[in-house]
């Protein structure tokens, strides 16, 4: 059996501070795996520049010039982490046997790739990198992150607990994954839908090596909401259930008001009226907001716009 060609796919956005450090770590891992006879010497590190506004793309170009094991593609504009990662995976799928996606910041344990490759050689087509604990997170981040995973699974989206986007995928899986055409993507929830034999590798996540995180609370909340609305219709069903409950309560309230009026015990008051109006108005606005989010997703899907556009690459020729 020929040694598999591995592509390590790394999305980058404004990573000029950390890229010169972690690039050497990724290159050394390629060399170590090749020296151990687990992968081919033709394996590569593929950086995806997600419309960075600093010198990230210039650094990637320089790395590619200095060592053939580095390659890079640049998106025409910033498309977000998920689209950038998808662009890298789709670029790599016809150039390799297996990919490992990982972030550029050095927080994910690079040495876990050894166990991932071992699992692949044993027949697994997908290997999830799963955090064994969240000791480096603040209480708030740990509480909200784990709560999100529990919520997603409760809503019916079968995502892997404490798994982000550190994973191995074979080219066979990527070929099938290319058939998933939705515009609103949430990879950690979509990959399990493809199926095939899979397993998990556990590791401890470290602190960011350099630079600052590009995923503030606002972006994390947006990603979480995208994941929920892209993978589950349960919120719509919950709204239906809430509507039934509120309707029943409202019907009971109407009966009570009629009986009170007929019996002469009705008392004029504005407090109860204001409370009821505010409550119903809040429920209606919330429901309209959730329904509107789904309609917005449908609107974007019907447009079928490209999820990413590659404007440049580091290798010669016209291939992209």
Q: Which of 44, 165, 39, 169 is nearest to 98 (CA)?
A: 169
Given a contact cutoff of 8 angstroms between Cβ atoms, the answer to whether 135 and 166 are in contact is no
User: What b/e sequence results for 205-221 when a residue is b if at least 16 CB atoms lie within 10 Å of its CB, and e otherwise?
Assistant: beebeebeebeeeeeee
Q: pLDDT-based confidence at 199, cuts 50/70/90?
A: very high
> Residue 110: CB partners within 8 Å, gap ≥ 6?
25, 26, 29, 102
Q: What is the pLDDT of residue 30?
A: 92
The CB density around residue 123, as the number of other CB atoms within 10 Å, is 9
Fold assignment, 6-216+306-313: Spore Coat Polysaccharide Biosynthesis Protein SpsA; Chain A (3.90.550)
pLDDT digits (tens, 9 = 90+) for 236-257: 677 767 776 776 666 676 666 6
The most distant pair of C-alpha atoms in the chain lies apart, rounded to whole Å, by 92
Residues 199-225 have a mean pLDDT of 67
- Establish how many alpha carbons lie within 13 A of residue 291's alpha carbon, considering only the half-sphere containing its beta carbon: 11
Question: How far apart, in whole angstroms, are the C-alpha atoms of residue 9 and residue 86?
Answer: 9
Q: pLDDT-based confidence at 180, cuts 50/70/90?
A: confident
- Reduce the DSSP state of residue 287 to 3 states and report it: helix
Mark out the alpha helices in 19-138 (DSSP H runs): 19-35, 56-66, 81-92, 112-121
CA dihedral 17, 21, 22, 26 (to 10 degrees): 150
Given a contact cutoff of 8 angstroms between Cβ atoms, the answer to whether 196 and 164 are in contact is no
Sort strands 310-313 and 70-75 into parallel, antiparallel or unpaired.
Answer: antiparallel
Q: What are phi and psi of 126, to 5 degrees?
A: -135, 130
pLDDT digits (tens, 9 = 90+) for 8-48: 999 999 988 889 999 999 999 999 999 999 999 899 999 99
Q: Which of 79, 16, 106, 90 is nearest to 320 (CA)?
A: 90
Q: pLDDT-based confidence at 317, cuts 50/70/90?
A: very low
- Adjacent-strand bridge partners of 98: 6, 170
Judged against a pLDDT cut of 70, whether residue 195 lies above it is answered with yes
Given a contact cutoff of 8 angstroms between Cβ atoms, the answer to whether 221 and 147 are in contact is no
Q: Is 113 left (phi over 0), alpha (psi -120 to 50) or beta?
A: alpha
Q: What are phi and psi of 101, to 5 degrees?
A: -95, 140
Name the pTM for this structure. Answer: 0.72
Query: Starting at the edge strand that comes first in sequence, how are the strands of the sheet with 310-313 ordered?
Result: 198-203, 126-131, 163-170, 98-101, 6-12, 44-49, 70-75, 310-313
Sign of CA dihedral 21, 221, 48, 99: positive
Q: What is the pLDDT of residue 190?
A: 82
Q: What is the pLDDT of residue 48?
A: 95
Element (H or E) spanning 216, and its range?
A: none
- Reduce the DSSP state of residue 10 to 3 states and report it: strand
What percentage of residues in the chain have a pLDDT greater than 90? 30
Mean pLDDT over the full length of the chain: 79
């Amino acid at each position: 059996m020929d040694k598999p060609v591995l592509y390590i796919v790394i999305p980058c956005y404004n990573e000029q501070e950390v890229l010169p450090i972690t690039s050497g770590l990724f290159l050394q891992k390629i060399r170590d795996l090749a020296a151990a006879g687990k992968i081919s010497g033709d394996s590569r590190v593929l950086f995806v520049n997600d419309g960075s506004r600093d010198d990230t793309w210039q650094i990637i170009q320089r790395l590619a010039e200095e060592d053939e094991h580095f390659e890079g593609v640049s998106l025409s504009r910033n498309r977000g982490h998920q689209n950038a990662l998808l662009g890298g995976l789709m670029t790599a799928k016809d150039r390799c046997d297996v990919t490992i996606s990982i972030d550029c910041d050095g927080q994910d344990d690079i040495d876990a790739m050894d166990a991932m490759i071992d699992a692949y050689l044993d027949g697994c087509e997908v290997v999830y990198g799963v955090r064994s604990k969240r000791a480096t997170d603040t209480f708030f981040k740990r509480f909200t992150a784990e709560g999100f995973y529990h919520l997603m699974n409760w809503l019916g989206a079968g995502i892997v607990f404490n798994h982000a986007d550190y994973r191995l995928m074979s080219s066979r899986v990527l070929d099938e994954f290319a058939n998933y055409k939705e515009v609103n993507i949430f990879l950690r929830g979509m990959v399990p839908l493809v199926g095939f034999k899979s397993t998990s590798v556990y590791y401890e996540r470290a602190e960011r090596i350099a630079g600052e995180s590009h995923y503030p609370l606002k972006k994390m909340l947006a990603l979480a909401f995208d994941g929920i609305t892209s993978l589950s219709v349960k919120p719509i069903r919950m709204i239906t259930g809430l509507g039934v409950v509120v309707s029943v309560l409202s019907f009971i309230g109407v009966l009570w008001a009629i009986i009170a009026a007929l019996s002469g015990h009705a008392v004029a008051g504005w407090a109860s009226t204001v409370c009821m109006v505010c409550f119903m108005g809040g429920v209606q606005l919330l429901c309209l907001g959730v329904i509107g989010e789904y309609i917005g997703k449908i609107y974007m899907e019907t447009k079928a716009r490209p999820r990413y556009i590659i404007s440049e690459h580091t290798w010669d020729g016209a291939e992209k």
